[in-house]
Every structure is written in structure tokens, then in C-alpha cells.
Structure 1
Amino acid sequence: MGFTSAWSISSHPDSTIAELTPRLAPALRADRAHPAARSRWEAWRRAPLPDHRTWYADRAYDAAVDSFRTLTRPGEHVDEVCNGITDPAFHVMDDIWEPEPDAADMFVSVHRKDYAVTALFHAVGPARAALLPGWCGNVLLTAAEVRRRLPDVERALTFTREERARVRDQDRLDYGCRDEPVTDGPLRVWRSAAAAGRGICAVALHID
């Protein structure tokens, strides 16, 4: 069965982050604290997956690939919040995306039958992924927290020419000429938010 997923990272004033916190923060904590999620993270950390082009050529990787894809798909609780299931009065389009229409303050990656966070985490590996705040693509931070964590994000997503070539080779998503890669957009928004004194809200969700 097909699906469409999205991963968005947007910057907001602290007043908006404060409004989002009661809804999103408990959902993020619940997804992060789930024992199965922690177990999948540790399994990936101990044994990162090989080149993605070998995943389905060797059946020995089936269980590890399934575990990693489950880890990096939208978290159940955040997904339900963003789609108005937990609270019908709240929806990602109306309450996160539309209030910040400036494209410079947002990164959105939409894909059919795939997940942007899966592609990014596989491309950078567990050591760099562990530097990123939040949990598997979901983040909610004030302006002060964004500034404090920016060095970690830069260490995770800044590459030498050789590193970038390897990372882009392992980014499993195909991009059109106008699409911004998952290795570029998140750091752009983080730097912009830190410079402007704004907070960050990042959510991964199913939209179809």
C-alpha cells in the first residue's frame, strides 16, 4: 500500500513555540521513550546498515532494514498530533506550516513511499544522527535552545568535499532540479533561525 510522507523544519518566534509545546512536546517524549524505539536505535547504532543498494539484494539484511525503517518513520504520537487525530482542532497545515509562509524559514521534504528522515539518517550514520536534537526528525526548541544546539547540528551536517560525495551517494531519495536535499535544508533553516533569534519546530508525518 502506498503512502506519502513529509518532513518539515520551520522556524518560529518563541511565542509560537510556547503554543505548540503543550501538544507536541508530550507526543515527542512518548515516541522517544518507547522501549521498542530505543531498542531499534541501539541496534542501528551497533550495526549501521550497508550501502542501500544492497538492502534488498541480500535477505540477511531484511530484519535490520525493517527495524531501521520503523525507527525513522514518523513517530506514532507526533504523527497523530500533526494529523488532527489526537486533537481535531489542531493540524500541521493550519497550525505549523501556514503561520510561517516565508520559504526562507522552512524546509519541507515530501515523498511517495519513502521517508526523508530515513534517507538522512542512513546517509550520515548513527554517530552524526545522535548529535541532532529531538528524536528521529521531531524537534521543538526555543530560540535560546536553537542557538545552544547549533554547533551540534553543524557538526552533524557539515561535510568535506569527500564526505559530501559519500553522503549524497547514500541519500536514497531522488530529487528534482528544484528540490532541496535532506542533507542541506535542515542546516540552512537552523542557521537562519539562530541568526534571527527564532525557535525550531520539526515534524515527520504521513500526509496520505
Structure 2
Amino acid sequence: MGITSAWSISAHNDDFIGTLAPRLLPLIAAERDDPFARERWDRWCREPLPDYRTWWEPFGRSCQREADSLNSFLELTASGEHVQKMYDGLSPHDDFSLLTDVWDLVTGAEDIFISVHSKEFALRSFFHAIGPDRALLLPGWCGNFLLTSSEVRETLPAVERALGFTPKERAEAENQDWLAYHDDEESVLDGPLRMWRQAAADARGLCGVSVTVY
């Protein structure tokens, strides 16, 4: 059975970021502090994956390590059970929803980057395309973060380094981003940096979440 995923980055004023903080920050911390997640992250840093076109070739016994590395990366970049609660609802006693209480409050298309894909995780393609060295420069954990306006300004130089490409580097990254885009759809290689720059210029915070929609 397939899934549909969404990775979003939305801009908000600091008051709204403050209302999200007690809900989202503990969920991100739980994802980051999970020992299995840390092990998967460390493995990806040690063993970056080859061209994605080779991933689905049959793995023989001699390739078990490569198969294990791939499976570890796939688990790392799937939506985690903790942040997923922002979409599913935190508990029977709390009807707060990422859909209605965050995304639906964004009034301008320029105030959100969202990449929705069937049978794919946008964050997964993004991470593979940029590689672990660049991903290490990004705040938060696996595409999930909550930043005040001052934190956006503080992290912008690192994000610029992570997502600034020479023409050759850009071509290489695009070659490893397997997502299909419509003409009016923003690439995962463009949207995040646009949002950081815009939020920094507008003195706004950012909320990033990677979830399974259904």
C-alpha cells in the first residue's frame, strides 16, 4: 500500500512560533534523541549512498552491507512517529492539527514551501541529493525544525553554505533528486533556501515538518 508524504517549511511571526514551541520542540527532540535514529544518521554520514539508480538492483550476499546501509537511510528519512503527531493529532484530548492549525493559516503562497509526493518522501530525495556533509549544516532533525526570527538569521549563513551550489554541484545534486515536478512546483533544492532568505529579510520564524499525509 502506497503513502503520500509532505515536507513543508512555513514562515510565521514569533508569537505564533512561541505557541508551536511546546507542542513541536519536544517531538523533534524525541526524534533526534532516539538511539536508532542517531545510529542511522551516523551510518549515513559514514556510508553515503551511491547513485539512486543502483539502489533497486538485486543485492547478493556480497552486497548485504550496501543493502543494510540503504535500508538504514530509508528508515532515517521516513517521517518519524513523534513529529507525525503534529499531523495526526497529539492525543484524544488535544485536537491541534498541522493541517488546520498551521498550514491552513498561511495566507500567502510565498510564505510556505511544501513538497507533496505519492510513494515518495521529499525529504529523502533532498537528503540524498545534497549528501550528509551539507545536511549536517541544517538545523533541527531530518527536515523538522522550529526557529524564531533571530534563530533564522543566525542559521542563515550555514543554510547558505549547505544549499549554495556551483553550477557543477547543482547539476550533480539535480541528477540525484529523483522527484518529478510540475511546471509551477518548487524543487526541494530551491524552496528551503528561498524560505530562509525570505524569513530572515521579513524578521519571521520558520516551521519545518516532514510527515506522512496518508
Q: TM-score range by the shorter chain?
A: over 0.9
Aligned residue-pair number: 208
Q: What is the deviation of 1:62? A: 2.2
User: Deviation digits for residues 134-179 of structure 1, max 9, x if unmatched?
Assistant: 0000010100000000001110001011100000000121112221
Quick check: 1:157 aligned with 2:163? yes
Q: What is the deviation of 1:133? A: 0.4
Match of 2:151 among 139, 145, 148: 145
Runs ≥4 in structure 1, deviation > 3 angstroms?
85-88
Quick check: 1:206 aligned with 2:203? no
Quick check: 1:190 aligned with 2:196? yes
Q: What is the deviation of 1:58? A: 4.6
Match of 1:62 among 57, 61, 67: 67
Q: How does 1:125-144 map to 2 (within 5 A)?
A: 125-144=131-150
Tell me, in whole angstroms, the C-alpha distance in 2 between the residues paired with 1:39 and 1:101: 39
Q: Which amino acid aligns with 1:66?
A: N
* TM-score, normalising length: structure 2: 0.95
Give the unaligned 5+ runs of structure 2: none
CA RMSD between the two structures? 1.0
Secondary structure, counterpart of 1:30 in structure 2: helix
Partner of 1:80: 85
Quick check: 1:35 aligned with 2:35? yes
Query: 2:3, 2:118 within 8 Å by CA — same for their partners in 1?
Result: yes
User: Deviation digits for residues 110-145 of structure 1, max 9, x if unmatched?
Assistant: 001110110011001000000000000001010000
Q: What is the deviation of 1:85? A: 4.2
Query: 1:56, 1:62 within 8 Å by CA — same for their partners in 2?
Result: no
User: Deviation digits for residues 70-124 of structure 1, max 9, x if unmatched?
Assistant: 1011121000222214364111111111112211111000001110110011001
Partner of 2:117: 111
Partner of 1:95: 101
Question: Looking at CA atoms only, which structure, 1 or 2, has the larger radius of gyration?
Answer: 2
Tell me, in whole angstroms, the C-alpha distance in 2 between the residues paired with 1:111 and 1:139: 20
Give the unaligned 5+ runs of structure 1: none
Query: 2:87, 2:213 within 8 Å by CA — same for their partners in 1?
Result: no
Partner of 2:45: 45
Query: 1:32, 1:38 within 8 Å by CA — same for their partners in 2?
Result: yes
- Relative to structure 1, the CA distance from residue 58 to residue 48 in structure 2 (aligned partners, 3 Å threshold; closer, same or farther) is farther
Identity of aligned residues (%): 51
Tell me, in whole angstroms, the C-alpha distance in 2 between the residues paired with 1:48 and 1:101: 39
